[in-house]
Amino acid sequence: MEAAADSKKIKFTMNERQKRMMPLVMIGAFFEGFDFMVINLALPYITEDFGLNDQTASFTVSAVAIGTLLAFFVVRLADRWGRRPIFIWSVVLYSFLSLVTAFSPNVEFFIVCQFLARVFLVTCWAVGFIFMTEEFAPEMRGRAIGLFQSAAAVGAIFPSLFLSLTAALNMEWQGLYIIGALPLILVFFFSKNLPETTAFLETRERINNGTEHKPSMFAIFAKPYRKHIIAIMGLWIGMYLCYSSAMNFFTYHVVNDLGWQPNQVSLVTALAFTLGLAGYYVVGKLLDAIGRKKTAYIFFFLGACAVTLVFQLDHFVQIAIAQIVAVFFIGTFTVLCATFTNELFPTEIRASATAWGNNIVGRLGQIAAPALVGVLTIPVGGVANAVSLLTLGPIVCILLIALFLPEPLTYKIPEYDPQGSK
């Protein structure tokens, strides 16, 4: 833990290159959070407009989430074509699809648009994490990743702020998706300032000089990395089972089961995500100060406990407080998983690690969570109990980290061997 102790003393600063890079990367993260929250916040209104029941609503969310699997193929391209072009085009495409979604005439069209939007939404988010990992030194990386994800959390606040306005215009969910298209404009102003990462440029130069080969699709399963990537896959699955069900069904639960009004939903959601921003600051500090593993134990355990309270309490004030605490902890789950994913593998296959660990396998948890809630609703006595059961996911994450993953701050990554990866 000597590295963690040293990093605690280092002040977080950015050089000119990092300052130029941050606006667009943060904009991408902001609208990723915005778009992800829209479907969660607007689900009861989408359900009403399209005449869906509980089970159909659950499977609609799962169908949309399947798009995250296809992000695997797009994210992997960042190891071949570069981080910059994949990130920029992902922002453009998911923004355009958000705009089209607003004019969905039926639930089938809605699912197709959001399915495709999710491909590029997740790609943007995943490549953004790679930017943070490759452009910041290890002793400041935890805080950089926390800062990046905090932009997504700020983005998640805004749908709740706009919900009352869009409801007044009788466009509860349509208006939110129109707002989600704004990156189409912003990307033209900031894209020129986004550089390619130095780590990727160095790797591409070695490939062009013939001293290194492009990694294969299965290079991540070479012996030095196999155990870690399998554990990383389990980490993402367990996290998403809790995170997605808690996020997807909070509004659905309080509106349909407890009779909350839009202004109550807006107030609690805005408070939770505003105050929850402190979680990203705290997790970033702790990741660099006490290490990745100890921080993960604390946040996964307390996050699981808080989500259970949210879905088991029935008084407005109690739920509001529990939701604020829950968002503080579970909002950082993706930071924790991304930190382990990006720091345990070499540059040459880092995007592949994210693609396999998160997009192709880990996202099965995100896809399965809404469907599982729908399936479990009747046997366990309601949506609230179904979501509470899925909070076992972060407990599984704790076990995986404790048993199978090293402390990234002190771990020496095995060098990538093109021959050994075949």
CA 269 from centroid of its chain's CA atoms: 18
Instruction: Give the model confidence (pLDDT) of 79-122 as tens digits.
Output: 888 888 999 898 889 889 989 999 999 989 999 999 999 889 88
| Report for 5-19, 24-38, 289-303: range of highest mean pLDDT | 289-303
Name the average pLDDT for the chain.
86
Give the pLDDT band (50/70/90) at residue 138. Answer: confident
Q: Is pLDDT above 60 for 330?
A: yes
What's the predicted TM-score (pTM) here?
0.72
Q: Average the pLDDT over 361-386 and give the result.
A: 89
pLDDT at 2: 45
CA 58 from centroid of its chain's CA atoms: 20
Residue among 237, 302, 294, 331 nearest 408 (CA): 294
Give the pLDDT band (50/70/90) at residue 374. Answer: confident
Q: Is pLDDT above 80 for 130?
A: yes
- Identify whether 374 is part of a domain: yes
CATH number, domain containing residue 198 = 1.20.1250.20
CA 132 from centroid of its chain's CA atoms: 14
Instruction: Give the model confidence (pLDDT) of 46-90 as tens digits.
Output: 888 888 877 787 778 778 878 877 887 888 888 888 888 999 898
pLDDT at 252: 87
pLDDT at 392: 96
- Identify whether 421 is part of a domain: no
- Identify whether 100 is part of a domain: yes
Q: Is pLDDT above 90 for 212?
A: no
Distance CA 309, CA 357 (A): 30
Higher pLDDT, 420 or 331: 331
Give the pLDDT band (50/70/90) at residue 1. Answer: very low
- Identify whether 198 is part of a domain: yes
- Identify whether 288 is part of a domain: yes
pLDDT at 4: 47
Domain enclosing residue 360, as ranges? 2-6+18-204+215-410
- Identify whether 42 is part of a domain: yes
- Identify whether 13 is part of a domain: no
Instruction: Give the model confidence (pLDDT) of 332-369 as tens digits.
Output: 998 899 899 989 998 888 888 888 998 788 888 888 88
Q: Which of 2-16, 68-82, 356-370, 391-405 has the lowest mean pLDDT?
A: 2-16
Which letter, b or e, does each residue of 286-322 get, where b requires 16 or more Cβ atoms within 10 Å of its Cβ? bbbbbbbbbbbbbbbebbbbbbbbbbebeeeeebbbb
Task: Copy the structure tokens of residue 329.
Answer: 């902890």
Q: How many domains does the chain have?
A: 1
- Identify whether 419 is part of a domain: no
